[in-house]
Structures are given as structure tokens and as C-alpha cells.
Amino acid sequence: MSRAARGDANIELMSVPGPATYTYLRCYYRTGGSATKPTTDYAWALDPSSGDYYRLNGYWWSSSALDWKNMYYTDVAQSTLQTVCRGTLQKKGIQQNPAMVFAADNQLSFNYTVWTNDKAGQGAAINKIVAFGDSLSDNQNVYNASMWTLPNRNSWFLGHFSNGQVWVEYLAGHLQLPVYNWAVGGAGVDTQKLVIPGVQQQVQSWKDYMKQARDYDPASTLFTMLIGGNDFVNYNNSVDKVISGQSQALTSLIDAGARNILVLNLPDVSRAPVFQFKSGATQVAAQVRDYNQRLNTLAAQLRLKYGSGLNLRVFDSYALFNQVLGNPAQYQFSNTTQSCLDINADSGANYLSAQNARANCVNPDSFVFWDTLHPTTRTHKVLADEVYGFLNGRAGFAALPRR
């Protein structure tokens, strides 16, 4: 019996995974000629021995008839995939590390996540990150679902609502762990607009996919969850609804075997540039404060309910964000009020077309915001750096790898 099928988890292996097959790898790299152009392209991975196209052995599975929801499972380590792509780019004269690596059968395929199966008897150490949330964590899910149209890849970095990596990717780099992403741009705690899965649905999706992951043990995963901004900014949901939905998502996750969970509270999203073009900042600010207080209470209740076997911690994004906005020079920022992209309206259509940078945004790293709601990748890195310190300090995640 796999560890994932033991009595302390509700995940059980499906008896018949997808048939054994092979697929190919896309090795993405940055092509933008300036700091304000986060464009990318890809090369097909080459086998380092034969020079032919690299074949990745494994199997496909999807919880849906929708092609973009496929996932590819393999026994090949993520570090090996990175090495193969790095060598491929070097052979082509591209002196960069791969920006992202995806599975794909042909030129018409979507970008598919490659899940590396665990090894039997691997122990209790944390060996991967699984992320839930919204556009602050999403790194391709909305992009695939929108047929590669949103966000526009000429102005946003390859499926990210930023100009580069998001915080959980930087965190994965710090910890030298792979990250698997269930976060969806536009998500709230529950399904929105009939098609955007909230964190409750994201957790259920993870549970479905993990039925196909060989030897998977949820206790060896660090789970992250950052949610709620869209509920208050875009969906006019109450704090009661958000806390209730997040409670259900976390309870479902824990009951499925999760033992190491990092939840981030909300930064003061009312201070984002979008509120220069829309009303409601005062209400949103109050909701965020109320939500953050009640999130701490929820976390304490869950720790009490599940006991010492659960390591659930809340990182204070709110305090960090206020520190950054109040003392920007300390973090090498000079602009805290404008978006780097020259967007001056509150419209989802902004993400569908290419946007120019403002004349004063020569260096995006000096801006806190990339667009009117989302941070620059530099801001994401500041968050990840602080989260990494938190995890290695008072958070007490003993099972994390140490550098």
C-alpha cells in the first residue's frame, strides 16, 4: 500500500493510471530586449546523448475532458528536466537558464505540468510545494484555460500576472524544491463566473490528480494558500463567506493528509493603483483587516482540532506590504503608487492586449506594481525572501530542507 493510501489520508491510488507513453519537453527562455518586455520563446528539449528530441517517459491523466487540464506524470526528477533544458539552450547558443519547462506532444499542444512521482520509502522530509490561490500565485493555469490569450504574453511573463516569477516560485528556488501550482488567476474561495475554480475546488482538483501520483505522501508536501483579494476587490463577498470557504478548503486539505501548510494573510490590497480608478478602497481596507484577524483565529482553531501533527502557520503579508510602502527605499523601490505598465482604467480587458510601460518605468524593479493590481516580480521576490526567513525561523517547519 502506498503511504498516500494509509488510514491518515483519504487519497487512494487509482488502479489504472494512464497508459505508459512518452512526450516531449518545451524549454522556455526569455527573449525580451528590455526590462519592460517580459516576452519568451521555447526550444524543444534535445537528448544530451543522441542529440535527437528528448523523450520523457511517463503517463497522462486528466480529471476533465478539457485538454488544458491534462497532467503528465513521470519518474524523472525535476532537476534532470532542468539540466536537459539548460543543455539544450546552451547548444542553441542561448546563454540562459530555462525560465519554465513543460510537457507537450506537438506544436499545437498546451503547456502541461510535469509531475515527478515520489519514490517508495522516501521518508518524511518535505520534497515539494503545492500552491493554491489566485493571480498572486498562478503561473500558467488561466493562461492555458484562455488558450494562451490572458494575460497577454507580450506584456506579462508567460502566464504570470507579473513581469517574472511569482513569490511561490522564488520560494521554491530558495528551498530547492519543485512547485506544483493549482492557483488560478481571478479565483476566490468558491467558483466564480461559473468557470473560475476557488480554493475549495482547487483542493478537490489536487485530491483528484493525486490519485494518479505513485507513492505520493501529502505529509511530504509544503502547501501554500493565499486567497481573498478577489473576493473583496472584485466579487463583493463578505468576510464571513471568505473565512467559511477557506475553512472548508483547509479542512479538506488536512483530512486528505496535509501536515505542513503555510497560509499568507492578505496585504492591504486597497492600496493598489487600481483604486485610483474605482471606488470602495475604504470598505476593502476594513474587510482585509477583519479577514486577517479572523484568519489567525481559524488557524488556531485548526491547530487545536488536529493537534501537534499539524504544522499550520500564517505569514503576515499585511505587515510586510505596509513596511514596503512605508519605507520603500529600504527595499530599493522608488515608486509605490503607479503601475509600471501604462494602464489607467479598471478593466479585465487590459490583460488581453499588449501594454506599454510608463515613460518613468525604465527599471521595473524600482516599482512595487507591474499592473494596477499585481506586484512586479521584484516585489514577489521581497515577499519570498521574507517567507523563506519565516519558514526557517519561528514557523518551525522542521521537515524542510536546509541550505
**Residue 147 parent element (H or E):** none
Determine the 3-state secondary structure of 371 from DSSP. Answer: coil
Q: How far is residue 279's CA from residue 268's CA, in Å, rounded to a whole number?
A: 15
Of 260, 259, 216, 249, the C-alpha closest to 12 is: 216
Catalytic residue among 134, 160, 374, 380: 374
Catalytic residue among 134, 135, 138, 247: 135
Q: What is the DSSP string of 192-208?
A: BTTTB--HHHHHHHHHH
Q: How far is residue 212's CA from residue 288's CA, in Å, rounded to a whole number?
A: 38
Q: How far is residue 305's CA from residue 105's CA, in Å, rounded to a whole number?
A: 46
CB crowding 131-152: b at 16 or more within 10 Å, else e = bbbbbbbbbbbbbbbeeeebbe
Q: Is 174 a catalytic residue?
A: no
Q: How far is residue 269's CA from residue 278's CA, in Å, rounded to a whole number?
A: 13
**Do the Cβ atoms of 226 and 236 come closer than 8 Å?**
no
* Sign of torsion over alpha carbons 142, 144, 150, 151: positive
What residue ranges in 85-206 does DSSP mark as E strands? 100-104, 113-116, 128-133, 179-181
Q: Is 135 a catalytic residue?
A: yes
Q: Is 371 a catalytic residue?
A: yes
Catalytic residue among 205, 270, 371, 380: 371
**Do the Cβ atoms of 180 and 113 come closer than 8 Å?**
yes
Residue 72 bridge partners (DSSP): 60, 114
Determine the 3-state secondary structure of 318 from DSSP. Answer: helix
Query: Is residue 195 packed enough to be buried (19+ CB in 10 Å), middle (13-18) or exposed (0-12)?
Result: exposed
**Residue 392 parent element (H or E):** helix 377-392
Q: How far is residue 292's CA from residue 281's CA, in Å, rounded to a whole number?
A: 16
CB crowding 160-185: b at 16 or more within 10 Å, else e = bbbbbbbbbbbbbebbebbbbbbbbb
Residues classed as catalytic: 135, 371, 374
